[in-house]
A and B are shown apart, each in its own frame.
Chain A
Amino acid sequence: MSMINDRIRLYRRSRTSPFSGFDPVLLISVLILLVVGTLLVYSATRQWYAANGLDPQYYLKRHVINVFIGCALAWGVTVIDYRLLRAYTPIVWGVGVLGLLAVLIPGLGSEINGAKAWISLPGGFQIQPAELAKISIIVGMSMLLAERDHSSDEPSTREILQALVVAGVPVLLILAQPDMGTVFIISAVVVTIIAASGAPMRWAVALLLIAVVGGLVATKAGVINDYQIKRLQSFVDPNADSTGAGYQLRQARITVGSGGLIGTGLFNGPQTNGRFVPEQQTDFIFTVAGEELGFVGSAGILLALLLILIRGFAIARKSTDPFGTLVCIGVIAWFSFQIFENIGMTLGLMPMTGVPLPFLSYGGSSMFANMIGIGLLQNIHTRHRG
Chain B
Amino acid sequence: MNQRSRLTLLVFQIFIISLFLALIGRLFYLQVAAGPKYKDAALSIQSRDVVTLANRGLIVDDYGVPLASNRVGLAVTVNRIKIDQQPDKGVAVLTKIARMLDLKYEDVWQETRLCGELPVGQRTGCWKGSRYQPIPIIRDADPNIALQIVERSTDYPGIDATPLSMRSYPEIDGVNAAHVLGYTGSLTEEDLATGKFYRSETIGKAGLELQYDEYLRGVPGIKTVIVDRKEAVTRTSQNTKPMSGNHLITSLDVRLQASAEAALKDAVLRAKASGYRADGGSAIVMDIKTGRILALASYPTYDPNQWERGLTASQAKALFSEKNGVPALNRPLQGLYAPASTFKALSVIAAKDAGYSLSASYDCPAYVDVGTRRFKNYESKAAGRLSMKKAIAISCDTIWYTIAYREWLKDGGLKPVDPKDYFFNVANGFQISKKTGIDLPAESAGRVPDRAWKQRNWESTKDFYCNYKERAEKKALTPFLIQLARENCIDGMKLRAGDAVNFAIGQGDTVLTPLKMAQMYAAIGNRGTIWQPTIAKAIVTTEGRILKEFTPQVLGTIPADKETLDFLHAALHEVTISGTAAGVFSGFPVPVSGKTGTAEVFGRNSDGSKKDNTSWFASFGPTNNPRYAVVMMVSQGGFGASTSAVGVRRIYSTIFGVTGNKLDPAKALFPSSGPPTKLPIISPATKPKNPNESATVTR
The yes or no verdict on A and B being binding partners is yes
* CB-contacts of B26-84 with A (<8 A): 26-28, 30-32, 34-39, 41-43, 45-46
CA distance A195 to B476 in the complex (A): 93
Residues of A within 8 A of B32 (CB): 260-261, 295
CA distance A306 to B34 in the complex (A): 25
Q: How many A-B residue pairs have CB under 8 A?
A: 137
Residues of A within 8 A of B27 (CB): 256, 290, 295, 298-299, 302, 347
B234 within 8 A of A: yes
A316 within 8 A of B: yes
CA distance A344 to B20 in the complex (A): 10
Closest chain B residue to A270, Cβ basis:
B46
Residues of A within 8 A of B46 (CB): 270-271, 274, 276
B39 close to A274 (CB less than 8 A): no
Residues of A within 8 A of B370 (CB): none
Q: How far is the CB of B408 from chain A (nearest CB, A)?
A: 74
Residues of B within 8 A of A302 (CB): 20, 23-24, 27
Residues of B within 8 A of A336 (CB): 16, 19
**Count of chain A residues with Cβ under 8 Å from any Cβ of B?**
52
Contact of B28 among A192, A295, A313 (CB under 8 A): A295
A298 close to B31 (CB less than 8 A): yes
Tell whether A198 pairs with B5 under 8 Å between CB atoms, given A253-B38, A258-B39, A271-B45: yes
CA distance A259 to B5 in the complex (A): 42
Contact of B9 among A48, A196, A344, A349 (CB under 8 A): A196
Residues of B within 8 A of A192 (CB): 12
B232 within 8 A of A: yes
* CB-contacts of A190-249 with B (<8 A): 192, 195-198
Most buried by A among B34, B42, B232: B42
Residues of A within 8 A of B234 (CB): 47, 51, 270, 273-274
Categorize the interface residue count of chain B: 35 or more
Q: Which of B222-230, B248-256, B289-297, B344-352 contacts A (4 or more CB under 8 A)?
A: B222-230
B22 within 8 A of A: yes
Contact of A347 among B12, B23, B43, B232 (CB under 8 A): B23
Tell whether A349 pairs with B31 under 8 Å between CB atoms, given A51-B232, A196-B9, A271-B45: no
Q: How far is the CB of A279 from chain B (nearest CB, A)?
A: 12
Tell whether A349 pairs with B8 under 8 Å between CB atoms, given A256-B30, A273-B228: no
A290 close to B42 (CB less than 8 A): no
Residues of A within 8 A of B43 (CB): 258
Tell whether A257 pairs with B226 under 8 Å between CB atoms, given A153-B2, A198-B5, A347-B26: no
Residues of B within 8 A of A299 (CB): 24, 27-28
Contact of A329 among B12, B22, B38, B41 (CB under 8 A): B12
Residues of B within 8 A of A306 (CB): 17, 20
CA distance A271 to B27 in the complex (A): 17
B24 close to A347 (CB less than 8 A): no
Closest chain A residue to B11, Cβ basis:
A195
A289-301 CB mask vs B (1 if < 8 Å, else 0) is 0110011001100
Contact of B8 among A196, A276, A343 (CB under 8 A): A196
A322 close to B1 (CB less than 8 A): yes
Residues of B within 8 A of A253 (CB): 30, 38
Tell whether A257 pairs with B38 under 8 Å between CB atoms, given A47-B234, A299-B24: yes
Closest chain B residue to A256, Cβ basis:
B30
A323-340 CB mask vs B (1 if < 8 Å, else 0) is 001000100110010001
B228 close to A274 (CB less than 8 A): yes
Residues of A within 8 A of B227 (CB): 274
A309 within 8 A of B: yes
A260-300 CB mask vs B (1 if < 8 Å, else 0) is 11000000001101111000000000000011001100110
A254 close to B41 (CB less than 8 A): yes
Closest chain A residue to B6, Cβ basis:
A317
B13 within 8 A of A: yes
CA distance A47 to B234 in the complex (A): 9
A329 close to B9 (CB less than 8 A): yes
B604 within 8 A of A: no
Q: How far is the CB of A268 from chain B (nearest CB, A)?
A: 11
Residues of A within 8 A of B39 (CB): 257-258, 260
B4 within 8 A of A: yes
B226 close to A274 (CB less than 8 A): yes
CA distance A317 to B38 in the complex (A): 43
A258 close to B41 (CB less than 8 A): yes
Q: How far is the CB of B372 from chain A (nearest CB, A)?
A: 77
Residues of B within 8 A of A343 (CB): 23
CA distance A127 to B46 in the complex (A): 35
B37 close to A257 (CB less than 8 A): yes
Tell whether A275 pairs with B12 under 8 Å between CB atoms, given A259-B35, A261-B31, A295-B31: no
Q: How far is the CB of B17 from chain A (nearest CB, A)?
A: 7
A378 within 8 A of B: no
Residues of A within 8 A of B26 (CB): 344, 347-349
Residues of B within 8 A of A348 (CB): 26, 30
B35 close to A349 (CB less than 8 A): no
CA distance A306 to B42 in the complex (A): 29
Q: How far is the CB of B212 from chain A (nearest CB, A)?
A: 39
A255 within 8 A of B: yes
CA distance A316 to B16 in the complex (A): 15
A125-162 CB mask vs B (1 if < 8 Å, else 0) is 00000000000000000000000000001000000000
CA distance A39 to B232 in the complex (A): 24
Closest chain A residue to B34, Cβ basis:
A257
Contact of B23 among A197, A260, A261, A340 (CB under 8 A): A340
A270-B226, A273-B226, A290-B31 provided; 9 other pairs, C-beta below 8 A? A254-B38, A257-B35, A274-B45, A274-B226, A295-B35, A305-B20, A306-B17, A317-B1, A332-B12
Sample (30) of A-B pairs whose CB atoms are under 8 Å apart? A51-B234, A153-B4, A196-B5, A198-B5, A253-B30, A254-B38, A257-B38, A257-B41, A259-B35, A260-B36, A270-B46, A271-B45, A273-B226, A276-B46, A295-B28, A295-B31, A295-B35, A302-B23, A302-B24, A302-B27, A306-B17, A309-B20, A317-B1, A325-B1, A332-B12, A344-B22, A344-B23, A344-B26, A347-B27, A348-B30
Q: Which 8 A-B pairs have the closest CB atoms?
A: A257-B38, A258-B42, A274-B228, A295-B31, A260-B35, A257-B30, A347-B26, A336-B16
B residues near A (Cβ < 8 Å) are 1-2, 4-6, 8-9, 12-13, 16-17, 19-20, 22-24, 26-28, 30-32, 34-39, 41-43, 45-46, 226-229, 232, 234
